[in-house]
Amino acid sequence: MAFKFEITRGNAILNFSEEFCQSRCELIESESFFRVLRKFIKDNARRETTLYTYLHKIESDDIALAHQLKDIFRLLLIMGPSEIGGTRPEFKPYFRDSDMLEELIEQLYLFWRKLQRYALVINDEKREGYQNVGFADAQEEFEKLILRTYRTISYQATHKTEKVLRQITAGVNAGLEITSLRTSLPYEYRCLDDIPFIEKVVIHPPFIMYSRRNKRDGVFPEINYNPIEDHKFDPDEWFCYPAKVGDQLAFVYFNIKYMAQGITLCNLFDLADESEYRGRKPDLIYVYGYEDNEKNQAFYQDDKNDMMVALLSANDEFDYFGYMKKMCLTLHNIRQINHGNLPIHGAMVVMKLHDGTSKNIVVMGDSGAGKSETIEQIKALGAAYIEDIKTIYDDMGVLSYDAESRRVKTSGTETGAFVRLDDLDAGYSFKELDRSIFMNPDKKNARIVIPITDYKDVVAKHDVDMFLYANNYEETGEPLEFFDNEEQALKVFRAGQRMAKGTTTEYGLVGSYFANPFGPVQRQEQTDPILKDYFDKMFKQGVKVGQLHTRLGIKGNEHNGPKDAALAILRYITGEEELKKLPDEE
């Protein structure tokens, strides 16, 4: 990547390998600062702000205005407005209104901070930038430089001494170490060869991202042609995140215009080490954000190369992390179906009780059914009864059959959770909340992506003690009910009903085959015999198969529904009808 600095779609990308400023003067004189300044002026001109009207009266040409403001900021590093006016009389008009000068400095600083800011370091070769200090240290130094520069200019312009200093994230929100390597992709995918791979991600919390959309729509269709073959990719505009999706290796290529979506992958899927993908063909390939003026969002089974591949167009309608996550899982699930395994849209926890016994519980259901909410309530309410509780997967898992033990096993796909904030109570416990990535936190269906599980636990094969359907649409019935036979269970599980909560564009009572539109819906004929076989095996080996009435989709029950469901599970696994050791409620 030869560029020093790039601004695109609200992202500011700084290439530390090409340019790294180590002094305040160097920062103001940099090409990157001038481009931010130009963008700032253009933004104010578009909005016809009072500030732009004031500046436009002094200098009507925007490019000349940017050059003059850059010179003024450089001079403000060492002297005040009166001294500058004495040595550079042409700048006096900018200092006639001290309030507008202060407004200019504050608004420029705010404009910079509103950008999603990313740093890059390229490990391939020695460059002119910052290479001799660790990448995380470089970002910290850049952060300090931005704050020192802002505070110096602000003080020189106003002579106000700040009594409260806020050490906010003024540098970059995240950084990437990238490298170029020769992949072992089949011939049809050589167009991807020059795209650099991400080796390391550094995040500066709180990481808050905003996307054009905050919900996903529809299902991903399957097509009969390769959507990637013969396409062209500029390596300066793409990154590859080598992800471990369950036991599958995925090369996820994303356009730099969608940096936030790509960065967020690190909280959801384990980043593969170079030793795990060098010289190896991936199982899955996903291209996110291809600029083709279309609305493609399809996947393809490449039988010749034994891979699943997908492409999603660059379009505002797809600017939502759900499109990144769910396509990866769709590709994973189709491969699992091809191998005779059963993908599960659900969550799974391992509970160790104080008497030494363990219970492995899978709660299945489509988006908004109450899986995550119920599990978080179990964590909050069951501390006195549960010695340890570990979430193995929060959204997507798979059932497989272990021939040696002759038992159904389950494993997961993600090391993180994509959790909706709307229905979460303040009492719900979230592990390592300060490591979360927040998405559209001020909007309906706000989300966080939070790391919850080690990869080794995700891919391990776990026994299944309880397999439950999250029923969020029926108000009547016991919170926890078990089915007597396979036919009763399949009727509920196959229908996949839920009361849509607005997490997608659906509303009201809806259903999808096996509550999993990410693979089983597209391959229903192939999945159905697998589904019957696994339910037959679970009933024969004594797995308790039932449904959990979370009532999450019923108005007024958003919190009490998951709580009652959690209490029912705790009563069942402890054998205590009256739970006497619950946390006191304020």
d(CA 96, CA 248): 64
Q: Which amino acid is located at 43 in the chain?
A: D
Same domain, 142 and 242: no
Which pLDDT band, with edges at 50, 70 and 90, does 271 fall under? very high
Beta-carbon contacts of residue 521 (< 8 Å; ≥ 6 apart): 219, 512, 513, 514
Residue 552 confidence (pLDDT): 87
Same domain, 543 and 517: yes
Measuring CA to CA, which residue among 64, 76, 63 is closest to residue 102? 76
Write out pLDDT tens, residues 325-356: 999 999 999 999 999 999 999 999 999 988 88
Write out pLDDT tens, residues 11-38: 999 999 998 999 999 999 999 999 999 9
Q: Which amino acid is located at 167 in the chain?
A: Q
Same domain, 290 and 349: no
Mean pLDDT in residue range 292-316: 95
Residue 132 confidence (pLDDT): 43
* Long-range Cβ contacts of 451-456 (<8 Å, 24+ apart): 451/267, 451/415, 451/416, 452/391, 452/394, 452/415, 452/416, 452/417, 453/390, 453/391, 453/392, 453/393, 453/412, 453/414, 453/415, 453/416, 454/415, 455/244, 455/270, 455/415
Q: Which of 286, 308, 338 corresponds to the end of one domain?
A: 338
Same domain, 428 and 481: yes
Three-state DSSP class for residue 383? coil
Asked if residue 40 has pLDDT above 50, the reply is yes
Report if residue 187 sits inside a domain: no
Mean pLDDT in residue range 286-294: 93
The mean-pLDDT minimum among 63-77, 314-328, 490-504 falls in 490-504
d(CA 119, CA 3): 12
The mean-pLDDT minimum among 428-437, 487-496, 565-574 falls in 428-437
- Cis check: omega of the bond before 451, within 30 degrees of 0: no
Residue 511 confidence (pLDDT): 87
Question: Residues in the chain, how many?
Answer: 586
- Cα dihedral: 495, 497, 503, 506 (round 10): 90
Residue 124 confidence (pLDDT): 67
Residue 431 confidence (pLDDT): 47
Residue 355 confidence (pLDDT): 84
Report if residue 206 sits inside a domain: no
206 versus 87: the higher-pLDDT residue is 87
d(CA 189, CA 435): 35
Torsion sign, CA atoms 314, 318, 322, 327: negative
Residue with tokens 């999993």: 516
Residue with tokens 């040409």: 61
Residue with tokens 């900021």: 73
178 membership: H or E segment, kind and range? strand 174-179
The mean-pLDDT minimum among 14-28, 249-263, 301-315, 432-446 falls in 432-446
User: Cβ distance 451 to 418 under 8 Å?
Assistant: no
Report if residue 208 sits inside a domain: no
Residue 23 confidence (pLDDT): 96
Residue environment code for 312-341, b if the CB has 16+ CB neighbours within 10 A, otherwise e: bbbbeebbbbbbbbbbbbbbbbbbbbeeeb
The mean-pLDDT minimum among 243-247, 377-381, 397-401, 528-532 falls in 377-381
Residue 582 confidence (pLDDT): 73
Report if residue 193 sits inside a domain: no
Asked if residue 129 has pLDDT above 70, the reply is no
Asked if residue 502 has pLDDT above 70, the reply is no
User: Cβ distance 224 to 522 under 8 Å?
Assistant: no
Measuring CA to CA, which residue among 292, 305, 142 is closest to residue 226? 305
> Distances in Å between the alpha carbon of 199 and those of 37, 202, 266, 283, 353?
32, 10, 11, 19, 39
Same domain, 370 and 329: no
Same domain, 432 and 311: no
Surface-to-core class of residue 514, CB atoms within 10 Å of its CB (0-12 exposed, 13-18 middle, 19+ buried): buried
**299 φ/ψ angles, rounded to the nearest 5 degrees:** -125, 165
Report if residue 580 sits inside a domain: no
d(CA 446, CA 110): 23
Same domain, 252 and 265: yes
Q: What percent of the chain lies above the pLDDT cut of 70?
A: 94
User: Cβ distance 255 to 287 under 8 Å?
Assistant: no
Beta-carbon contacts of residue 287 (< 8 Å; ≥ 6 apart): 192, 227, 228, 231, 253, 254, 310, 311, 312
Report if residue 439 sits inside a domain: yes
Asked if residue 112 has pLDDT above 80, the reply is yes
Report if residue 494 sits inside a domain: yes
d(CA 574, CA 526): 39
pTM over 0.85: yes
Report if residue 562 sits inside a domain: yes
Three-state DSSP class for residue 42? helix
Residue 429 confidence (pLDDT): 37
Asked if residue 48 has pLDDT above 70, the reply is yes
Average pLDDT, the chain: 91
Residue 90 CA to chain centroid, in angstroms? Answer: 49
Q: Which two tokens stand for residue 427?
A: 């009492």
Write out pLDDT tens, residues 357-367: 999 999 999 88
Which pLDDT band, with edges at 50, 70 and 90, does 422 fall under? low
Same domain, 111 and 234: no
Residue with tokens 């500066």: 204
Asked if residue 430 has pLDDT above 80, the reply is no
Tally: H helices and E strands in the chain: 15, 26
Q: Which domain holds residue 96?
A: 5-172
Q: Which two tokens stand for residue 56?
A: 């436009």
Same domain, 119 and 151: yes
Per the structure, how many domains does the chain have?
3
Same domain, 479 and 362: yes
**Strands 284-290, 307-313: parallel, antiparallel or unpaired by DSSP?**
parallel
Residue 504 confidence (pLDDT): 64
Residue 507 CA to chain centroid, in angstroms? Answer: 24
d(CA 238, CA 103): 37
Beta-carbon contacts of residue 75 (< 8 Å; ≥ 6 apart): 84, 87, 88, 91
Q: Which of 287, 305, 338 corresponds to the end of one domain?
A: 338
Same domain, 286 and 330: yes
| Residue 427, Ramachandran bin (φ over 0: left; ψ between -120 and 50: alpha; else beta) | alpha
318 versus 557: the higher-pLDDT residue is 318
Asked if residue 86 has pLDDT above 70, the reply is yes
- 12, β-bridge pairs: 7, 117
> Distances in Å between the alpha carbon of 281 and those of 144, 180, 329, 430, 441?
42, 16, 18, 37, 38
Asked if residue 304 has pLDDT above 70, the reply is yes
Which pLDDT band, with edges at 50, 70 and 90, does 505 fall under? low
The mean-pLDDT minimum among 77-91, 182-196, 252-266, 359-373 falls in 359-373
Q: Which of 338, 368, 388 corresponds to the end of one domain?
A: 338
Report the CATH number at residue 234: 3.40.449.10
143 versus 125: the higher-pLDDT residue is 143
Which pLDDT band, with edges at 50, 70 and 90, does 165 fall under? confident
Report the CATH number at residue 424: 3.90.228
Same domain, 298 and 369: no
